[in-house]
Amino acid sequence: MTTRLNLFYSAIQGSYWMYYGAVLSFASVFLLGKGYTNSEIGVILAAANILAVLIQPLMADAADRSKRISLIHIVGISSIGLAAATLSLYLFPERAIPLSGVFVFIAALHTSLQPLVNSMAFYLSRSGYRINFGIARSGGSIAYAVLCAILGTLVTIYGIKVIPVTGALMLALLLIFLGLTSRLLKATFLTSEVQKEDKISEAKGESINLLVFVRRNMPFIIFSIGIMFVFFQNSVLNTYLLQIITEVGGTSSQLGRLFSFMALLEIPGLFFFSKIRSRFNCQLLLKLSAVAFVIKICLVSIAGSVLFIYLAYLFQLVSFPIFLSAAIHLVDEVMEKGEAVKGQSFVTGMITMSTVFASLLGGVILDISGASLLLVISTATCVFGTMIVFLSVDRIRMKQKNRHV
């Protein structure tokens, strides 16, 4: 039972991140192909992430409080709407306001699902079976890597028309695995147990509103702001990597391979995170991975070739997978049951906000000054965010301990 639940959850992570790879990692490729400028792409992606920041706390609050609708059902219903919107991209042959609106909706909804997909690991674990988030998330990275490697070549051969249909197929897989997971829970009567535990938590007064959450977790909120600055460079690289590698002689085919390489590097850190965490606490791991982010963006900023960018991305081994896993597990360690999804949404929300600023500033800076200045600014913000992480992350545990004294 434990093995099957872990396999299904890994498949959920895989299909979720394959959709991200198909539609959002290739967003610049798709929108440039429709006639948009870098600045316009930046505005579209910024608007999408602003909308996601507004949606995420509401969805998280609903998930924390809901007695009737599970995380699986919320993600499933949202995925159906996402699939319809993705296929509607074929209705717009070129740059248009409706196309911009649809793309904003797609990016916002998909981003808003991320904290729910992450929290699903802990939701399933409360059934009594251990779910290994790190292994499942590494499955997402493997799936993402394979898809990006293939899609980069397909786009080169067939053009951007393959992007929406690939995204829709990934959502179909997501719905299938959500359904299988739900059936497995029902077949073993685990769903009722999970709901019973949730009701017990609610009876103890654990479910709180957003304002109370913020007041009770101010050190965590400050830490989350640090995440926003650290991840600014990550958002720049994910959104504008095509433009960055083009300046050093890269192509869209190399873009897919570089995204694939990046994802493969994430796998060891995600897969073995449980063992790493058994030896080091989450606070130390967050500090180390933030420093690795700084080194990576520094090296990318001085790169003169695609090969050097590959070398810079070697620090992805330590940066993204360790930081993400440590932040998610930190939330699970220090948050009350009624706060868990809200905590995950704050982590994801700050990463989303980093994408807002990266999208707005990145597109304008690229059109005016090129990639070099953008990378220098990205390095500076990452250093600043790392300082905030160092100053705030140890206070989170202290605050939580004091709460229970």
Q: What are the two backbone dihedrals, phi and then psi, of residue 66, each rounded to the nearest 5 degrees?
A: -65, 135
pLDDT higher than threshold 50 for residue 281: yes
**Residues 319, 323: Cα–Cα separation, whole Å:** 6
Q: pLDDT at position 398, please? A: 53
Which residues lie closer than 8 Å to 243 by C-beta, 6 or more apart? 28, 38, 366, 371
Select from 339, 270, 323, 382 the least CA-distant residue to 65: 339
Contact (Cβ atoms closer than 8 angstroms) between residue 313 and residue 265: yes
Lowest mean per-residue pLDDT among 17-21, 111-115, 297-301 = 111-115
Contact (Cβ atoms closer than 8 angstroms) between residue 270 and residue 137: yes
Stretch 346-374: mean pLDDT, rounded?
85
Q: pLDDT at position 2, please? A: 79
pLDDT higher than threshold 70 for residue 206: no
| Mean pLDDT, the chain, whole residue set | 84
Of all residues in the chain, the percent with pLDDT exceeding 90 is 38
Domain limits, the chain: 2-403
Q: Chain centroid to CA 370: how far? A: 26
Give 352 or 188, the one with higher predicted confidence: 352
**Residues 223, 42: Cα–Cα separation, whole Å:** 26
Give 255 or 110, the one with higher predicted confidence: 110
pLDDT band with cut points at 50, 70 and 90 for residue 9: very high
Q: pLDDT at position 86, please? A: 95
**Residues 405, 400: Cα–Cα separation, whole Å:** 9
**Residues 79, 83: Cα–Cα separation, whole Å:** 6
- Rounded to two decimals, the pTM is 0.75
pLDDT band with cut points at 50, 70 and 90 for residue 200: very low
Q: pLDDT at position 64, please? A: 62
Residue 296, CB-side half-sphere exposure with 13 Å CA sphere:
25
pLDDT band with cut points at 50, 70 and 90 for residue 397: low
Q: Chain centroid to CA 282: how far? A: 19
pLDDT higher than threshold 90 for residue 164: yes
**Residues 405, 402: Cα–Cα separation, whole Å:** 5
Give 42 or 167, the one with higher predicted confidence: 167
Contact (Cβ atoms closer than 8 angstroms) between residue 315 and residue 303: no
**Residues 8, 58: Cα–Cα separation, whole Å:** 26
Token pair in block for residue 176: 């299938």
Q: pLDDT at position 147, please? A: 92
Token pair in block for residue 54: 């507004």
For residue 71, give the amino acid letter. Answer: L
Domain 2-403: CATH superfamily, name plus number: MFS general substrate transporter like domains (1.20.1250.20)
Token pair in block for residue 350: 């700050």
pLDDT higher than threshold 60 for residue 226: yes
